[in-house]
Amino acid sequence: MVLEREIYPYLQWLLWGTGGSNFGALPRFFAVCAGFAVLAILLGYVVSLLRAERRGGFFTGLLQAGDRVFKTLKSGIAELAATSPRRVWALAKLAMKEAWRRRILIALVVYVVLLLFAAWFLSVEHPDPARLYLSFVLSATTGLVLLIALLISAFSLPGDFKSKTIYTVVTKPVRAGEIILGRILGFTVVGTFLLVAMGLCNYVFVTRSLGHVHQVEADSIERQTSTEGEDEGRTGRTTNTAGHRHRIEVDSDNQGIALTENGHYHPLDIDSEGRITVRPAVGFLRARQPDYGKLRFVDRTGVEKARGISVGSEWTYRSFIDGNTLATAIWTFSNISAATFEESRNDQGEASGEVLPIALKVRVFKTHKGTIGQPISGTIQFRNPETTAVSDPEPFYAKDSQIDEMFPSRAQVTPEGEPIDLLDDLTTEDGRLEILVKCAERGQYFGFAQADLYISKPDGSTLMNFIKVHLSIWIQMVIVITVGVVISTLVSGPVAMMFTASFIILGIFREKFLEIATDQAYGGGPAEALVRMGTQANVVSQLDQTWGVMIVQFIDTFISRPLMWGVGQILPDFQYLDSSNYAAEGYNLPWDRIFQDLTICGGYVVAFSVLGYFLLRTREVAR
Amino acid sequence: MSEATSAETAGAETASSEIVVQTRALSKVYRDFWGRQKVRALKSLDLEVRKGEVFGLLGPNGSGKTTTIKLLLGLLFPTEGEALLFGKDSSDVSKNERLGYLPEESYLYRFLNAEETLDFYGRLFDMPADVREQRIDELIKMVGLDRARKRQLQEYSKGMTRRIGLAQALINNPELILLDEPTSGLDPIGTREMKDMILRLKAEGKTVVMCSHLLADVQDVCDRIAILHQGELKELGRVDTLLTVADVTQLRAKGLTGECQQELRDVIARHHGELLEMNNPTTTLEDLFLKIVRDSEARPGRRASIEGADDNKTGGVATAD
Ligand SMILES: Nc1ncnc2c1ncn2[C@@H]1O[C@H](COP(=O)(O)OP(=O)(O)OP(=O)(O)O)[C@@H](O)[C@H]1O
Ligand SMILES: [Mg+2]
């Protein structure tokens, strides 16, 4: 679910786009800006025409309005060049002082109290406590930071208009753009300060909450001997803390580990007399770096398909293969090389051959109970896409919805029992390899999406990942501040807040919004939906083609949908920008993605500042 | 008073031809949200203010004085006509470099202290730090807020706020200063200081446009005045000439005995003059002002009929000390 959208290299994203109908972000930005600029100029012209007291004839009026629009544009461009960093910084400092005076620190206190309360309700006994804690703190931080960004930005300029302090500012050689930029900058600094403080709280809270210790359960330790009577070390278990216990394995050289449970393990300290102490948990926070392949399906009769079958209740993102038939999920990976393989080490720390680190997440859909107490089994198999040489299918047990990390050895065997090399024989010259996954039990189903099987590169830094996720919250914050400040040039504080809030909410549901705008959703456009609501017709029932309905549909097609489509072009997709899932689910947030988001953010700041400049410039300050 | 008089005459001579403020048929109609007309606040105003002048805008409450100043500053957009400052349109931001503005009430950030306030506005003029520091110190001393310089403005009294407002208006050493009721809220001493201040600015060759309905203030400092009523210009001219009554001779003397006074009466009677009074004259500008307002109310839309300004060169004012 996390990695629903593929992340493309930055430059490709920026310039050429991501295939299909998507073109690059930069051309798109310019196209949208140009479109809106034309609209804005037309609108400005009409307003100027209506506002002005007309002297002379109708045509003189037309010319005068045109002249005014042209002059405004011309001086706007000239003033852009006169922007002074000192003035911007002075205004930014003022904005900071203002925010400070509004007791912004209380937000931090509220946040700490919230975390303390949360500590009661969040349970470390959850099977994936890191995800629970991280998604909680990250959504709380996002929510609070965005709320504060909304409040401080939307009320600032209207406050200045209300107290008329703006009079003494705009009668100085201050360019309207500097007022906007200064506000954005000032509130961003304040917001950054808050976010950093919250981030520190989050880190301490998560690491402290997840940390726990176990004792060794003394009478559980058993000595293991092989059939030949050799000492094979000891096994045992830890005490139950935080709702789980670990199995302990210690080898004959007194090296040992408390095995992974609930997403973490504990290293062991073993002294010369063999006494075992359990150290703090390791591996709660992960920053997995997946390398994705392309997924396609083969159906139960052996026919290639782009998608598997749907099991109804499931979200369409995943599709399913049926067990014990020819149905297969096939991933094709590219760029496999010797470097992809990892040296595996055995318990003694000696090299024991190379392995291909992969991770698999299966969504299991059962139509019957199966064998009680037994997980559903499946097989995994490697295939060369050119020679179609295959390895012997290797069975595995599906851990429903959990990431299962596997380390199949480079040395595989064919179904006939011949040795076959995963790199030399099963991978093509240009580094392509297919991995085939099947469900082994009749009547049971495995569900997959493209991101459910990947080759894992070594983990990234979890601290860095933590910082990166906060950076993505920062990006959302800057967008909210920008939009809030710009909208507040036009309307009073509460109205600006409402507008900005709707902008955010529509941004969160941008996809749905665009679906309605492009007529892909059931129930028609807004006007038709209103009729359906009024007549209590459901979204799919056919409406009688009366004149009324036709007019309503006409309005939708030619007015409300184009309008929605237009708005949709500038809505920030907050759902997409929210990348807290990466940290929560333990994936590394790629830098490419961060740079893309930063670029989007920069685009908003630039475009909206220009918009704000003209809004403020053409506003009569002393109304 | 004598200081003021001498400054005025000096100003009159040095008034060069350079026009600093010019309005052409400047009009303003306030409209509501729906574009319906609410108030015609200013009707076709033509003004010219030259460099080095102190120009006063007079008028009763709601006559359009503040509206005029806001139009000059570009805070309002004219409904018709245009306002030029230094030859630039009032919507041009760059004119603000050479301009200082003291609003009707001091619209300042109440959470800043005096120093921070001036520093903030100094930065808005892109002044480098050392210049700013020096200027702030000068101004704070000049307006007499040295002891309150670290206090937040929300703790200031009205007069103190007014003073810091003035300092703020002068931060860039402007050539043109627009003062909207500069003496409101000031005590008599503050008022006196403000007037001296204006005269000092004038002596430095600056142009001052002020509006007020405190006639004494206007009379003391202004070279020329315009009187507005209900948005219309009713009178425009030099203060000294406007206030001279052509056919009346005023005589002020000190230490005259009763005999001497009687002798004077006889002399006047002998020359068929009519003695109007022989005591202290009352305020003069106030009379004119009230007369104009009453006239205008009786006959709206016409210019007042007090035309004493142009034909009075013969009647000098005799003042004996
Ligand atoms: N924002 C506004 N909206 C509507 N009408 C306004 C607005 N501001 C001023 N007016 C009207 O315009 C007219 C002129 O007002 P203005 O403030 O210029 O008067 P003034 O001469 O400065 O008066 P005062 O001596 O009281 O300061 C008044 O009738 C006033 O009601
Ligand atoms: Mg006023």
Query: What pairs with residue A244 in β-bridges?
Result: A241
Ligand 1 mutation pick, B28, B37, B67, max ligand atoms within 8 A of CB: B67
pLDDT class of A335 with cuts at 50, 70, 90 = confident
Looking at residues A113-133, what average pLDDT do you find?
Answer: 82
Establish if B105 touches chain A: CB-CB under 8 angstroms.
yes
Q: Between A218 and A98, whose confidence is greater?
A: A98
Ligand 1 mutation pick, B66, B79, B215, B229, max ligand atoms within 8 A of CB: B66
pLDDT class of B308 with cuts at 50, 70, 90 = very low
The per-residue pLDDT for range A555-591, each reduced to its tens digit, is 888 888 888 888 888 889 888 888 888 888 888 888 9
Looking at residues B73-89, what average pLDDT do you find?
Answer: 90
Looking at residues A235-260, what average pLDDT do you find?
Answer: 82
Provide CB contacts within 8 A for A313, sequence distance 6+.
Answer: none
The per-residue pLDDT for range A384-410, each reduced to its tens digit, is 988 888 899 999 988 877 788 888 888
Structure tokens given for A11: 């430059």
Q: What is the pLDDT of residue A121?
A: 81
Is the predicted pLDDT of residue B317 greater than 50, yes or no? no
Is the predicted pLDDT of residue A258 greater than 90, yes or no? no
Ligand 1 contact via B67 beta carbon (within 6 Å): yes
Is the predicted pLDDT of residue B77 greater than 60, yes or no? yes
Most confident of A530-534, A537-541, B20-24, B90-94: B20-24
pLDDT class of B277 with cuts at 50, 70, 90 = low
Check whether domain B20-239 has CATH 3.40.50.720, yes or no? no
Give the nearest chain A residue to B80 (CA atoms). A53
CA of A260 to the centre of ligand 2 (A): 78
Residue extent(s) of CATH 3.40.50.300 domains in chain B: 20-239
Give the nearest chain B residue to A163 (CA atoms). B107
Is the predicted pLDDT of residue A57 greater than 80, yes or no? no
Establish if A98 touches chain B: CB-CB under 8 angstroms.
yes
Q: How far apart are CA A425 and CA A387, in angstroms?
A: 9
Q: How far apart are CA A283 and CA A266, in angstroms?
A: 9
Q: What is the pLDDT of residue B309?
A: 40
Most confident of A398-407, B28-37, B184-193, B206-215: B206-215
Query: How close A484 comes to chain B (CA, Å)?
Result: 21
Q: What percent of chain A has pLDDT over 70?
A: 95
Lowest mean pLDDT among A190-204, A550-564, B229-243, B288-302: B288-302
Q: How far apart are CA B225 and CA B53, in angstroms?
A: 10
Q: Which position has the token pair 């076709």?
A: B44
Determine whether the interchain pair B107/A622 forms a contact, defined as Cβ–Cβ distance below 8 Å.
no
Determine whether the interchain pair B126/A84 forms a contact, defined as Cβ–Cβ distance below 8 Å.
yes
Across the interface, of A79, A168, A173, the residue whose CB is closest to B107 is A168
Mean pLDDT, chain B, whole residue set = 81
What atom of ligand 1 comes closest to residue B213's alpha carbon? 25
Q: How far apart are CA A410 and CA A426, in angstroms?
A: 10
The per-residue pLDDT for range A456-507, each reduced to its tens digit, is 888 888 899 999 999 999 999 999 999 999 999 988 889 999 999 999 999 9
pLDDT class of B175 with cuts at 50, 70, 90 = very high
- Please tell me whether residue B81 adopts helix, strand or coil conformation: strand
Ligand nearest the Cα atom of residue B68? 1
Q: What is the pLDDT of residue A347?
A: 55
Ligand 1 contact via B32 beta carbon (within 6 Å): no
- Please tell me whether residue A314 adopts helix, strand or coil conformation: coil
CA of B30 to the centre of ligand 1 (A): 9
Establish if A343 touches chain B: CB-CB under 8 angstroms.
no
Tell me which of 2.60.120, 1.10.540, 1.10.287, 3.30.70 is the CATH number of domain A289-457. 2.60.120
The predicted complex's ipTM stands at 0.79
Is the predicted pLDDT of residue B191 greater than 50, yes or no? yes
Residues, chain A: 623
Provide CB contacts within 8 A for B68, sequence distance 6+.
Answer: B23, B26, B42, B45, B57, B211, B228
Ligand nearest the Cα atom of residue B58? 1
Most confident of A412-426, A437-451, A463-477: A463-477
Establish if B260 touches chain A: CB-CB under 8 angstroms.
no
Query: How close A168 comes to chain B (CA, Å)?
Result: 7
Collect contacts of A405-408 with beta carbons under 8 A, ≥24 apart. Answer: A405/A357, A405/A358, A405/A359, A405/A456, A406/A357, A406/A358, A406/A359, A406/A360, A406/A380, A407/A342, A407/A344, A407/A355, A407/A356, A407/A357, A407/A358, A408/A355, A408/A356, A408/A358, A408/A380, A408/A382
Residue extent(s) of CATH 2.60.120 domains in chain A: 289-457
pLDDT class of A260 with cuts at 50, 70, 90 = confident
Q: What is the pLDDT of residue A475?
A: 96
Helices B158-169 and B129-142 sit at what angle, rounded to 10 degrees? Answer: 140
CA of A621 to the centre of ligand 2 (A): 16
CA of B85 to the centre of ligand 2 (A): 20
Ligand 1 contact via B39 beta carbon (within 6 Å): yes
Establish if A490 touches chain B: CB-CB under 8 angstroms.
no
Per-residue exposure over A172-203, b if at least 16 CB sit within 10 Å of its own CB, e if not: bbbbbbbbbbbbbbbbbebbebbbeebbebbb
Determine whether the interchain pair B124/A173 forms a contact, defined as Cβ–Cβ distance below 8 Å.
yes
The per-residue pLDDT for range A81-108, each reduced to its tens digit, is 888 899 999 999 999 999 888 888 888 9
Q: How far apart are CA A62 and CA A307, in angstroms?
A: 59
What atom of ligand 1 comes closest to residue B228's alpha carbon? 21
Give the nearest chain B residue to A95 (CA atoms). B109
Ligand 1 contact via B62 beta carbon (within 6 Å): yes
Q: How far apart are CA A415 and CA A413, in angstroms?
A: 7
Is the predicted pLDDT of residue A610 greater than 80, yes or no? yes
CA of B63 to the centre of ligand 1 (A): 7
Q: What is the pLDDT of residue A599?
A: 93
Q: What is the pLDDT of residue A136?
A: 92
Mean pLDDT, chain A, whole residue set = 85
Using CA of residue A397, residue A400, residue A405, residue A411, what is the dihedral sign? positive
Establish if B94 touches chain A: CB-CB under 8 angstroms.
yes
The per-residue pLDDT for range A168-210, each reduced to its tens digit, is 999 999 999 999 999 999 999 999 999 999 999 999 998 888 8
Is the predicted pLDDT of residue A72 greater than 50, yes or no? yes
What H or E segment, with its residue span, contains residue A71?
helix A58-81
Query: How close B219 comes to chain A (CA, Å)?
Result: 28
Q: How far apart are CA A501 and CA A503, in angstroms?
A: 5
CA of B41 to the centre of ligand 1 (A): 7
Q: What is the DSSP letter of A577?
A: H
Structure tokens given for A170: 């705009």
Question: CA dihedral in degrees (B91, B92, B96, B99; nearest 10)?
Answer: -70
CB hemisphere CA count around B63 (13 angstroms): 20
Nearest-5° Cα angle at B115, A80 to A95: 45
Establish if A171 touches chain B: CB-CB under 8 angstroms.
yes
Chain A CB contacts of B72 below 8 Å:
none
Q: What is the pLDDT of residue B318?
A: 38
- Please tell me whether residue A457 adopts helix, strand or coil conformation: strand
From the CB of residue A290, how many other CB atoms can be counted at a distance below 10 Å?
Answer: 19
Looking at residues A428-444, what average pLDDT do you find?
Answer: 90
Q: What percent of the residues of chain B are helix, what percent strand, and what percent coil, each to the nearest 5?
A: 40, 25, 40
Strands ordered across the beta sheet of A403-406: A289-292, A453-457, A358-361, A403-406
Query: What pairs with residue A248 in β-bridges?
Result: A236, A258
Establish if A103 touches chain B: CB-CB under 8 angstroms.
no
